[in-house]
Amino acid sequence: MPQLSPANTPRIGFIGFGAMASRMGAHLRTAGYTITAYTPSGKSPDPAVAMLPSPKALAEQADVVIACVPDDEALAASMYGADGTLAGMKRGSVLINTSSVSPEATSELLEAGKKAGVTVIDAPVSGSTPEAQSGTLVVLAGGSEEDVTNAAPIFDAIGKITIHTGPSGSGARLKLVINGIMGAGLAALAEAVGYGLAAGLDRSMLFDALDQVAVISPHHKRKLKAAKEGDFAPQFPARLMQKDMRLLLDAAAREAVPVPTLAATTQQLSLTRRLSPNEDYSSLIRVMEHTVANDG
């Protein structure tokens, strides 16, 4: 199979075309690819991108399909059945799954792709909407070395680096590791901020001081700055972060790995999701602020 460059693979179809996918699509269009999309609502944030009426219809017109859906259920609904993506894909074509889904859903899609004669690469991305906007995502690609190399022009258009994580399924597993660290780090930050405020530290001083210390990652510093201003616009919605934490807990339990810190974080994010599902997951900081403000 030749490399999937604009010269020989000009048509890319997106299954799911929300905040992340639409930004990835913009970079692919700049690189010379033609983009179409399918969403259950039939709506697109980019009016220049043609919307197709079903996953099958999209797959029939695409050289490569990129799936970018929120969870296992959405992946299954769009991939399988008479109107599903796999029903419309040609033998020898390529399906790149950038969705953050469970290892089990990833394996199921790989096996279904094999039966359909379709190459499936699991390639979730590390980064939120700012990285998708700037084209600096980190692509976590699971598959054979040949398949990942052939897809490099697509990955290079949307990200700053591609990590070949190993055989199919490895990308999905690494994404859970990364998001677990991200979620637990934010939870620790929110709890520490809660203590500082309850102990009487000036709020502005506290937030500004934490922005200067090396122990907090650049990602979490960005969340802290936004929280200081009360800005919880959804770069990574709480409902999706809580979903990823839930998937990680299940995956760890299957391997008999104890993860008490991640379990506690998942409970905090479950509360955050219930209170503000479509705001950024960093709204957990606001939850802690309100908790200490209302104490006693």
Cite the active site residues: 175
CA 31 to CA 35: how far, in whole Å?
Answer: 11
In sequence order, what are the residues at sequence separation of 6 or more whose Cβ sits closer than 8 angstroms to the Cβ of residue 182? 219, 241
3-state class of 235 per DSSP? coil
Contact 44, 58 (CB under 8 A): no
CA 98 to CA 84: how far, in whole Å?
Answer: 17
List 139's β-bridge partners, or say none.
Answer: 125, 162
3-state class of 90 per DSSP? coil
One-letter amino acid at 246 equals R
- Residue 197 in tokens: 């405020």
